[in-house]
Each structure stands twice: as C-alpha cells, then as structure tokens.
Amino acid sequence: MRPGLQALARSAPSAAESGYAGPVTAPVPAGSSCAVVAIVLPADAHFVGYRYEAVDGWGGGDCVAEQPCTIGDAHWQGHPVIERGQRTVIWSVFVNSSRDRARRGRLTTYFRPGANWRAPSG
C-alpha cells in the first residue's frame, strides 16, 4: 500500500483538482480487519494536524492512535503517515475488531492552504 501512496504524492495533480473539502470515511464491514484511509491535500497546503474517529450505526467517537476508540472494538494503527511530493498524502490504517458491527474510520486533516488554493465550488 505504501508504494502506491508514495507514487500518488509524487504525481502531479490534475487540472480538475481544485482543492479538498470534508472528511474521508472508510467503511469496514463487520468481521473485517482493516482499511487504509487516505486524504490528498492541495499541492501547496501545509499540514497542521489530524483527528481520528470511529463511527457505526449506534454512535461514534474520537480515537487516539494505538488505543481503543471510545465506541470499543476499533482502533487506528499509529499516527498518520505523511507522504510529500507534488502534493501531500496523509494516510493511516483503521482496524475494526467488532464481529457484529460494521464501522467507519474517519480521518480528518487540518491544513493551511497555499496562496493558489481555491475553495471547491458546490
């Protein structure tokens, strides 16, 4: 997985990529083990911080790296990895240990946009 994310960071953003908006969620079905969650920041953005969460049909809550999430039976493997190149890719692995509940791992990143960044229209 890491070589693919490193290649993504080194690749040039397409003309259609005007920016990023919103958290990215990764559904992890019950009985599954894990999923990679990745966010691509605008090319000239400065990464400031992140937030981990875990959500299921009964609720959700915050998570701390390498510790059980507040909803239980889920965790994030370490702090996010930062791949830098022509753009910045932030990624981590979300683990769902529940045998009977599907979960979503939510990674939110905080960044300062560069001078050329334009908010997505929509």
50-103 tens-digit pLDDT: 999 999 888 889 999 999 999 988 999 999 999 888 778 899 999 998 888 888
Domain extent, residue 85, equals: 2-13+25-112
Q: Is position 20 within any domain?
A: no
- Is residue 52 a contact partner of residue 32, using CB atoms and an 8 Å limit? no
How confident is the model at residue 5, as a pLDDT? 63
Residue 64 CA to residue 92 CA, distance in Å, equals 12
Higher pLDDT, 108 or 29: 108
pLDDT reading at 9 higher than 80: no
Q: Is 50 a domain residue? A: yes
Residues 6+ apart with CB under 8 A from 16: none
Residue 117 lies in a domain: no
C-alpha to C-alpha distances, 46 to 19, 54, 62, nearest whole angstrom: 13, 25, 23
Q: Give the pLDDT score at 76.
A: 96
The confidence score (pLDDT) of residue 109 equals 92
Q: Report whether pLDDT(1) > 50.
A: yes
Write out the two tokens for 4: 């693919």
- Give the chain's domain count: 1
Lookup result for tokens 């001078």 = 115
Task: Kindly report the average pLDDT of the chain as a whole number.
Answer: 80
Instruction: Examine residue 46 and state whether it is found in any structural domain, yes or no.
Output: yes
What pLDDT does 100 receive? 85
Which residues have CB under 8 Å from 4's CB, separation 6+?
none
The DSSP letter of residue 58 is T
- Bridge partners for 90 per DSSP: 39, 82
- Residue written as token pair 């240990």: 97
